[in-house]
Amino acid sequence: MPTTSNWLQVPWLRISTGDLATERKQAVEEGRDLAGLEDEFAALATSEIDQEEFQTRAEALLDAVQNAPTVAGYAYDEPSDLAAIQAARPASSLPSCTLAEDELLDHALGAWQGRSAGCLLGKVVEGRRSWQIREYLESQGRWPLDRYFSSQADPEVAKKCGFNLNRTGLYEESITCMPEDDDTNYTVTGLVVRERHGADFTPADMARAWLGQIPIMHVCTAERIAYRNFILGIAPPESASFRNPYREWIGAQIRADFFGYANPGCPERAAEWAWRDASISHVKNGIYGEMWVAAMLAAAYVLDDVTAVIRAGLAQIPTNCRLAEGINRILDLHADGTTEQAVFANIAGRWDENVGHDWCHTISNAEIVAASLLWGEKDLGRTICISVMPGFDTDCNGATAGSVLGLMLGAKAMPAQWIAPLNDTLVTGLAGYHKVSLTDMAAKTVRLAAR
pTM of the shown model: 0.96
Q: How far apart are CA 75 and CA 215, in angstroms?
A: 40
**Strand, coil or helix: what is 126?**
coil
Phi, psi (degrees; rounded to nearest 5) at 174:
-130, 10
Bond prior to 11 in cis (omega within 30° of 0): no
H helix runs in 198-302, sequence order: 203-213, 221-231, 238-241, 257-261, 267-278, 284-300
Q: How far apart are CA 319 and CA 295, in angstroms?
A: 15
Strand partners, 249: 361
Task: Please count the other Cβ atoms lying within 10 Å of the Cβ belonging to residue 176.
Answer: 12
The pLDDT of residue 1 is 47
Q: How far apart are CA 137 and CA 143, in angstroms?
A: 5
The pLDDT of residue 168 is 85
Residue 365 amino acid letter: N
Query: Which of the residues in the chain have pLDDT under 70?
Result: 1-12
What spatial distance separates the first Cα and last Cα of the chain, rounded to whole Å? 44
The pLDDT of residue 7 is 44
Q: How far apart are CA 222 and CA 234, in angstroms?
A: 14
The pLDDT of residue 8 is 45
Task: Write b or e for each residue in 194-214: b if 16 or more Cβ atoms lie within 10 A of its Cβ, otherwise e.
Answer: beeeeeebebebbbebbeebb
> CB-based contacts of 72: which residues, under 8 Å, 6+ apart?
none
Report which of 436, 417, 450 is spatially closest to residue 109, judged by C-alpha positions: 436
Number of helices followed by number of strands (H, E) in the chain: 23, 2
Residue 45 contacts residue 20 (beta carbons within 8 Å) = yes
CA dist 300 to 117, 310, 337, 379, Å? 18, 9, 24, 15
> CB-based contacts of 337: which residues, under 8 Å, 6+ apart?
none
The pLDDT of residue 12 is 63
Phi, psi (degrees; rounded to nearest 5) at 425:
-130, 130
Q: How far apart are CA 173 and CA 394, in angstroms?
A: 20
DSSP at 320: T
Q: Cα 181 vs. chain centroid, distance in angstroms? A: 12
